[in-house]
Every structure is written in structure tokens, then in C-alpha cells.
Amino acid sequence: MQELISRLKELLESGSVQRVLGWKKGDFTFNPEPAYFNSAEELSEFVYDGFCGANLSKYMIKASNLEGVTAVLLKPCDTYSFNQLIKEHRVIREKAYIIGIGCKGKLSLDAIKAQGVKGITDIKGAEIDGDCNELKVETLYGEKTVSYKDSMLERCHVCKGKEHMIYDELMLESADTLDADRFTDVEIIENLTSEDKFTYFQRELSKCIRCNACRNVCPACSCRKCVFDSTKFDSEQKANVDPFHESMFHIIRAFHVAGRCTDCGECSRVCPQGIPLHLFNRKFIKDINEYYGVFQAGEDIGQTSPLTDYTLDDMEAEERR
């Protein structure tokens, strides 16, 4: 960790980068937030630990318009998003100095709370230099210990791997966190009856408060004007009582990012209502893999997206499972 901070200082002081895009401490140990660091002094606020889940690649869209080079810290999974953004001409590669940083799994406060921990005031054991086995949680009711693994975000259990797809230099160690199949949940839903599927999604989606956090955080949702804010379809966000966008919003959003979504899991991470939004995206990914061959967005910039591609003998819609 100290090594990383020294390197960032060096980069800033040498003038090879104008700023660093990383995370700074929050009010608590468990809520750091993305931040720019314009000088070596500002780095005193810098932090990188198990709570730094945010994918910084989307910030590079703005940073690409700033003067000079930005050093950006990208976890392995974030690099997929960055690649995808390069492919879509949304970020400028030369404006980024990518430090690929290690990851030992990112934590979810909800997952910790779900283990029966209440009144959290501080959490220790999330440091990237540590062994990340246990978390010591201080609460209003005393100290508790929970397993690091059980406290991880869902996406880390189905991790795409700890390899960076794009970087200028690599720092910090990673630890494997993959211990589940990422399509299991999708399959469970697929096997429900039509009626039960509907009931399930109706229950989940009825929690949506249309805060747009999912859209705003999504690295694939980088349109200068979202269709939901645009007049082009007569589909702009209207009064909250209008049912259309609740029912269709998430389907349309998932379709719009289909073939481009890297499955970074940010949508589910930020959803204040805890809706498993990744289940929509993963359904498209699963279908694409099954119907058109395995495809991972952001893995290879040269690859054509499955939705802007075809083969002469693609299956017919009626042949779907």
C-alpha cells in the first residue's frame, strides 16, 4: 500500500500525470469514495482497501476531456469496462495512465449486515496488505468477527479472474475469490414457470424507486443523453405514477447494454433497494454465450459485439429454449 502511494506521488511530482483517480477516505472506514488527487499532498486522503468497490473506468470519460494525463487505478474487473469504453470511443487511451491494482475481493456492507451485525461503527481487516480472512467489526453493541469471504459482493464470488485486460503498470497482490457459478441464479429463474418468473420479478422490481443509481454508475450507460431523458421516443421520464418506465426501464436498460455489459456488477452494488439488477444483464450474457458463442465484453477490443454481428445460420427466435 505504501509502495502504491509512493508511486502515485512520484508520478504526480514528476509531472508525468496531472492527477490521480482513486479513492479517498469516507466518513467511516467502510465508505470510501472515488476522488481525483491533483497533488502529492492530497494523497494523504488516499485509501485502497476492500471497500473500494467502485469501478473508476467510467470517470475516465470526463477525465479524457481534462488537460493532461490521468493516472487511474483499475482493479482487474474494471479493466474490462475500460476496454469496452475504448472500443466505443468514449475514453481516450493516451489520456490515461493505468495502474492495474490487485484485488482480494470487495466487500458489501449489506452482506455484513446480513450476517446479523447491527450498529456498525468501524470495520478492520479490509486492508489490501492484510490476509483478508476476517473482518473485525466494531458495533454499538460490541466487537464482532465475520468472515471476509461471507462479506464479499456477489460479483466477487463469480469473479472473472484477477488478470488485468489493459494496464501500464501493475501493483499489489490479488487473491482468488471465485467460488460460485455466475449463471446459477439465472438458471434457477429460467426454470420457474412463467407465472413464478413474473411473480419474482414483480416483487423485486416493485422495490425500484427509480433513483437511476444503476444507470448513473453503469460504465456501459455512458450516452451523452440517455433514451430515458430524450424526447426521441416519447419515452422521457415522466411522473412517477406512469407505469411504463418501471416495467420497462430495466429491460430496456439491459437490452441497451447487451453485448456491451462486462458484468462488472456495479448496478447491483449501488442499488439502494438491493434489487439484483445483474440478473437482467447476466440473462443476456448467458443467452449470447449459448446462442452465438461465448463472448466477454471488454476482453478484446477487436472483437465484434454479438449484437452488431450475425452468422447466416443463427438460430431462429422460435428455437430459443
Partner 1 sequence: MHGIGVFVCHCGSNIAATVDVKKVVEMAKLEPGVVHAEDYQYMCSEAGQEKIAQAIKEKNLSGIVVCSCSPRMHEATFRKCAEKAGLNPYMVEIANLREQCSWIHKDIEEGTEKAVILTRAAIAKVNLNTSLEAGESGVIKRALVIGGGIAGIQTALDIADAGYEVDIVEKTPSIGGKMAQLDKTFPTLDCSACILTPKMVDAAAHEKINLYTYSEVEKVSGFVGDFTVEIRKKARYVNMDKCTGCGVCMEKCPSKKAKSEFNSGLSNRPAIYTPFAQAIPNVPVIDPTQCIKLKTGKCGVCEKFCQAGAIDYKQKDEVITQKYGAIVVATGFEVIKLDNYDEYAYSQSKDVITSLELERIMNAAGPTKGHLERLSDGKPPKNIVFIQCVGSRCAENKGKSYCSKICCMYTAKHAMLIRDKYPDVNVTVFYIDVRTPGKNFDEFYRRAVEEYGVNYVKGQVGKVAPQADGSLLVHGVDLIDGKQLKISADMVVLAAAIEPNPTVRNIATMLTASIDTNNFLTEAHPKLRPVESPTAGVFLSGVCQGPKDIPETVSQAGAAAIKVVGLLAKDKLMTNPCTAKADELLCNGCSACANVCPYGAISYEDKLINDHGIRKTHRVAVVNSALCQGCGACTVACPSGVMDLQGFSNRQIIAEVDAICR
Partner 2 sequence: MSLTNEEFRPKIVAFCCNWCSYAGADLAGSSRLSYPADVKIIRVPCSCRVNPMFILRAFEKGADGVIICGCHPGDCHYSTGNYYARRRMTLLFSMLDYVGIERGRTRVEWVSAAEGVKFSQTMNEFVETVRSLGKNVRLGDLRCKN
Q: Where does this chain bind partner 2 (CB under 8 A)?
A: 186, 189-190, 192, 194-203, 205-206, 208, 227, 233, 235, 243-244, 246-248, 251-252, 254-255, 258, 280, 283-284, 287-288, 291-292, 306-312, 314-318, 320-321
For residue 304, the partner it binds in partner 1, partner 2, none, with Cβ less than 5 to 8 A by kind, is partner 1
Q: Give the count of beta carbons closer than 10 Å to the beta carbon of residue 146.
A: 21
Taking the C-alpha atoms of residue 273 and residue 111, their distance in angstroms, rounded to an integer, is: 13
Taking the C-alpha atoms of residue 57 and residue 82, their distance in angstroms, rounded to an integer, is: 5
Contact between 100 and 169 under an 8 Å Cβ cutoff? The reply is: yes
- Tell me, residue by residue from 23 to 62, as one string, x for binding to partner 1 by CB under 8 A and - for no binding: ----------------------------------------
Least separation in angstroms between residue 317's CB and partner 1 is 15
Q: Give the count of beta carbons closer than 10 Å to the beta carbon of residue 17.
A: 22
Taking the C-alpha atoms of residue 137 and residue 229, their distance in angstroms, rounded to an integer, is: 42
For residue 284, the partner it binds in partner 2, partner 1, none, with Cβ less than 5 to 8 A by kind, is partner 2
Distances (CA, A) of 308 to 55, 79, 201, 233: 26, 22, 29, 22
Taking the C-alpha atoms of residue 312 and residue 276, their distance in angstroms, rounded to an integer, is: 35
With CA atoms as reference, report the closest residue to 25 among 52, 57, 53, 56. 52
Minimum CB distance to partner 1 smaller for 89 or for 321: 89
Q: In what order do the strands lie in the sheet with 134-139?
A: 120-124, 134-139, 142-147
Is 216 a binder of partner 1 (CB under 8 A)? no
Least separation in angstroms between residue 161's CB and partner 2 is 25
For residue 205, the partner it binds in partner 2, partner 1, none, with Cβ less than 5 to 8 A by kind, is partner 2
Q: Which helix (H) or strand (E) holds 115?
A: none
- Tell me, residue by residue from 233 to 272, as one string, x for binding to partner 1 by CB under 8 A and - for no binding: xxx--------------------xx--x------------
| Three-state DSSP state, 87 | helix
Contacting partner 1 within 51-110 (CB under 8 A): 65, 87-90
For residue 198, the partner it binds in partner 1, partner 2, none, with Cβ less than 5 to 8 A by kind, is partner 2
Least separation in angstroms between residue 28's CB and partner 1 is 36
Residues found near partner 1 in the complex (CB under 8 A): 65, 87-90, 222-227, 230, 232-235, 256-257, 260, 304-305, 307-309
